[in-house]
Amino acid sequence: MGFKKIDVKEINGFKLGNAENQSAGTGCTVIISEQGAVAGVDIRGGGPATRETDLLKSENTVQAINAVVLSGGSAFGLESGSGVMKYLEDKGVGFKVGERNIPIVTQASLYDLEVGSGDLRPDCEMGVQACINAYDGIFDHGNYGAGTGASVGKFYGMERAMKSSLGTFACSDGILEVGAITAVNAFGDVYNGNNNIIAGLLSKEKDYIKGSISVMKNHVHGEGGPEAPDIRDPFKNNEVNTTVKLDDAEVVDLADDNQHYDVSVEEREPVSNAQETNTQTSVVSRTNDVDKSEIDEIESKIEELRAELENNLESHNAVHGVATVEDESEYETIPVEEMGYDVPFNTTLSCLITNAKLTKTQANKLASILHDGFARAIKPVHGTLDGDAIFVMTTNQVEVNFDAFAALATDIMQYSVIDGALAATDAYGLKASRSIISK
């Protein structure tokens, strides 16, 4: 039968809605289950802003929830969840307590206050509007809902960040349905399935995606050192051992074009076993019967390997769309106060929806496993100033092998993050992936 991609709105038992303030650069997304969905959550980032996530712990009483809200506005945006509660209460949806229905609404918010207007955040009214849109079927990915003000690549703050958005991905085999809705607002960069950066930290000139990992390695001590070049020649920077020792001769550096071999090997003593296994240099053993043709053959092979490495470096540049920095004097020195790692402009939020049969404990375990999907697509991920959270909601209808289902769901989570980068459009002075990649 096989799985085919479907629109996430086609998954039965859920209503999806967005509401946003485009000029303010913020919004919220609601995923509603009127009948109640078995749910779990796993929060990995160090700076979460959440509502009612404790009730999802496996040992706690409530077994089903009515809505997950993903919003912007940081902790201020949690107010939108109250609007969702009010709307659902008016609909008669919720956990029965005496004569009342209490809608069970969980939520997580991301930080988007540095785009648009930080004084306008998702509120009760916006939460109500998201519900109205959910019942009217108004939902789309891209710069909508919780993804309205989302961005990525913020090691140097917002100046060199890129626009991201709300991503979705879903599939079905005609029986099982599973999909993810993800607001991608990461400190790090987004990578596609081929491990190429598609959104993240821009170059100083903002003309290509530089990426965060190599830059961050130069700041491991927290000091404002030089910005890393994009691709370094490992021979030039002494990162590859290029020395060869022939018997007792002086060490020869193959990366030094001005150094030549002394090929008068007939007077050399054979090397000892200890010399042959020296781990500090690459040792080539020679006996007195070695002639110059063998040395020439070794030199030829070394040149071939070096040429292959240089070609690989050039191919890497072409694939990633980056330039090679040749002159260290061109490296950019970044003052500590200009680094962006001390400001909380982050948090990626997601909700996986499905009809797979899961217990509450399994839903929590699945939410934990799904962070692997984040880790595949976002690097670095789960930082101290990220509030990364993944919710799981299921209508509990289709028997599944849990481990097999978790593997499938993790792929879907990864693809929803990628979609969050590719669906974005330029906004608030931030370039989106499509603007950079299409050049």
Could you tell me the pTM of the whole model? 0.75
Name the more confident of 18 and 121. Answer: 18
Model confidence band, residue 222 (pLDDT cutoffs 50, 70, 90):
low
Structure confidence at residue 216 (pLDDT):
81
Structure confidence at residue 226 (pLDDT):
57
Residue 41: which domain range? 4-219+341-438
The mean pLDDT value for 384-401 works out to 91
Give the list of residues 6+ apart from residue 205 with CB closer than 8 angstroms, or none: none
Structure confidence at residue 439 (pLDDT):
55
Q: Is 258 among the domain residues?
A: no
Model confidence band, residue 206 (pLDDT cutoffs 50, 70, 90):
confident
Model confidence band, residue 148 (pLDDT cutoffs 50, 70, 90):
very high
- Residue 197: is its pLDDT beyond 50? yes
Q: Is 22 among the domain residues?
A: yes
Distance of CA 399 to the CA centre of its chain: 31
Cα angle for residues 115, 119, 124 (degrees, 5° grid): 110
- Residue 115: is its pLDDT beyond 70? yes
- Residue 76: is its pLDDT beyond 80? yes
**What is the tally of structural domains in the chain?**
1
CA distances, 91 to each of 34, 135, 231, 299, 301 (Å)? 9, 11, 58, 80, 76
DSSP at 116:
S
Computed on alpha carbons and rounded to an integer, the radius of gyration of the chain in Å comes to 28
The mean pLDDT value for 131-158 works out to 94
Residue in this structure with the two tokens 């307590």, named with its chain if needed: 97
Identify the top-confidence range among 148-152, 226-230, 287-291. Answer: 148-152
Name the more confident of 5 and 308. Answer: 5
Q: Is 77 among the domain residues?
A: yes
Q: Is 251 among the domain residues?
A: no
CA distances, 223 to each of 109, 161, 200, 248 (Å)? 31, 21, 22, 43
User: pLDDT exceeding 70 applies to what percent of the chain?
Assistant: 73
Structure confidence at residue 312 (pLDDT):
63
Q: Is 433 among the domain residues?
A: yes
**Rounded to whole angstroms, how far apart are CA atoms 181 and 197?**
21
The mean pLDDT value for 409-428 works out to 95
Give the list of residues 6+ apart from residue 280 with CB closer than 8 angstroms, or none: none
Q: Is 299 among the domain residues?
A: no
Name the more confident of 27 and 327. Answer: 27
* 209-237 residues labelled b (16+ CB within 10 A) or e (exposed): bbbbbebbeebeeeeeeebbbbbbeebee
- Residue 332: is its pLDDT beyond 70? no
Give the list of residues 6+ apart from residue 56 with CB closer than 8 angstroms, or none: 39, 40, 41, 62, 65, 106, 360, 363, 364, 391
Structure confidence at residue 79 (pLDDT):
95
Burial category of 62 from C-beta neighbours within 10 Å (exposed 0-12, middle 13-18, buried 19 and up):
middle
- Residue 46: is its pLDDT beyond 80? no
Residue in 393, 391, 380 with CA at minimum distance from that of residue 350? 391
Orientation angle between helical segments 79-90 and 124-135, nearest 10 degrees: 50
* 258-280 residues labelled b (16+ CB within 10 A) or e (exposed): eeebeeebeebeebeeeeeeeee
Asked if omega into 380 is within 30° of 0 (cis), the reply is: yes
State the average pLDDT for the chain.
Answer: 81
Q: Is 68 among the domain residues?
A: yes
Burial category of 356 from C-beta neighbours within 10 Å (exposed 0-12, middle 13-18, buried 19 and up):
buried
pLDDT tens digits, 259-305: 544 444 444 444 444 444 444 444 344 444 556 677 777 777 777 76
Strand boundaries in 242-361, DSSP class E? 243-246, 252-253, 282-284, 349-356
Structure confidence at residue 225 (pLDDT):
56
Which residues are paired to 353 by β-bridges? 179, 393
The mean pLDDT value for 383-400 works out to 90
Name the more confident of 336 and 358. Answer: 358
Identify the top-confidence range among 118-132, 195-209, 212-226. Answer: 118-132
Structure tokens of 225?
Answer: 């050192």
Half-sphere exposure of 299 (CA within 13 A, CB side): 17
Structure confidence at residue 321 (pLDDT):
45
Instruction: State the CATH number of the domain containing residue 27.
Output: 3.60.70.12
Which residues are paired to 351 by β-bridges? 181, 391
- DSSP-H helix ranges across 100-242: 124-135, 213-217
Identify the top-confidence range among 94-108, 118-132, 296-310. Answer: 118-132
Provide, for the chain, the percentages of residues in helix, strand and coil under a 3-state DSSP scheme, each rounded to the nearest 5. Answer: 30, 25, 45
- Residue 107: is its pLDDT beyond 70? yes
Q: Is 320 among the domain residues?
A: no
Distance of CA 388 to the CA centre of its chain: 10
Residue in 65, 31, 34 with CA at minimum distance from that of residue 351? 31
Out of 11-15, 383-387, 433-437, pick the least confident. Answer: 383-387
- Residue 50: is its pLDDT beyond 90? no
pLDDT tens digits, 156-184: 888 899 999 999 999 999 999 999 999 99
Structure confidence at residue 249 (pLDDT):
53
